[in-house]
Structure 1
């Protein structure tokens, strides 16, 4: 079996998501950390790229939802930092 470049991209995306999940379960990563959401976003994006070449609607839907949820986590992280910075400024 020969792997195409898009297969390798998708497999790399799966590896990133699995790596983030392993670190989470080993308590080496905080689920609220930016890194966790970024790794999940990147992994889902890479899987979506591979699915554009080997279409599977169910897998695409799953990864698209995974990507949206992960991007929500990224936005939530930056929003909480911005609120914290505003609150820190009020205490002066």
Structure 2
């Protein structure tokens, strides 16, 4: 598997990373203009995909600080989605988190 990945052109990973950046910007723009809210799963799903794409884009030009930020966004997005899925299934969110 790693051999197959290493045979891919580095520019492909750059393109994936730039698309991830584009998703971040699009998501923030949609939040600013009230097309999504920070309470909906869509907002966190887009952040999850964007962070995953940026992290993938760093395969050939790794940066530890940026990788840590992307891993944080992935983790917090997954946690937020799980919380919202549980709430939509009728489970109540603690008052201090609502």
Q: Distance in 1 between matches of 2:79 and 2:65?
A: 21
Map of 1:78 onto structure 2: 85
Map of 1:10 onto structure 2: 17
TM-score (norm 1): 0.83
Q: Distance in 2 between matches of 1:27 and 1:11?
A: 24
User: Which SS does the other structure have where 1:71 is aligned?
Assistant: helix
Q: Tell me, which stretches of 5 or more residues in structure 2 are unaligned?
A: 1-9, 92-98
Q: Are 1:30 and 2:37 matched, yes or no?
A: yes
- Write 1 or 2 for the structure with the bigger share of helix: 1
Aligned-residue CA RMSD (Å) = 1.3
Equivalent pairs counted in the alignment come to 82
TM-score (norm 2): 0.78
Q: Tell me, which stretches of 5 or more residues in structure 1 are unaligned?
A: 85-92
Map of 2:64 onto structure 1: 57
